[in-house]
Amino acid sequence: MTVKLVDIASIIRSKNAGPYELTLDIIFKDREWYEKIKKAKAINRSLICGLYNIPEEDILNIIEFDPAGAVKITIKRPLVSGDIGETDVYGAQQHAPLLALEFDI
């Protein structure tokens, strides 16, 4: 079946993790969906590379965090927070492409 990420996650957000990194958190509504997504490795490097159009080396890590039933993706910021030309100083609005994700689980 096809499931939309927005229907199975309660929190989808982005934020700076220091001025050089951007971190994306997906916290699932329940344990069951978290485990399914984790088992299927549905959130992976190639998915994120495609979604944000970034090279694989810019993905610093993807971590499954069992205590919160969450998947965390950290990427290198294209520009350091506050640099000339940078557009989101706090990094708080870079999550939107995740909202369109759908999975065949």
Binding mask 29-68 for another protein (x = CB under 8 A): ----------------------xxxx-----xx-x-x-xx
How much of the chain is in helix, strand and coil states, percent to nearest 5? 30, 35, 35
Number of H helices, E strands in the chain: 3, 6
Interacting span for another protein (CB under 8 A) from 1-9, 35-43, 94-102: 94-102
CB closer to another protein out of 39 and 66: 66
Helix (H, G, I), strand (E, B) or coil at 59: strand
Helices (H), 1-105: 5-8, 31-39, 45-52
For the bound state, the minimum distance from the C-beta of residue 40 to another protein, rounded and expressed in Å, comes to 21
In whole angstroms, the minimum distance from the beta carbon of 51 to another protein comes to 6
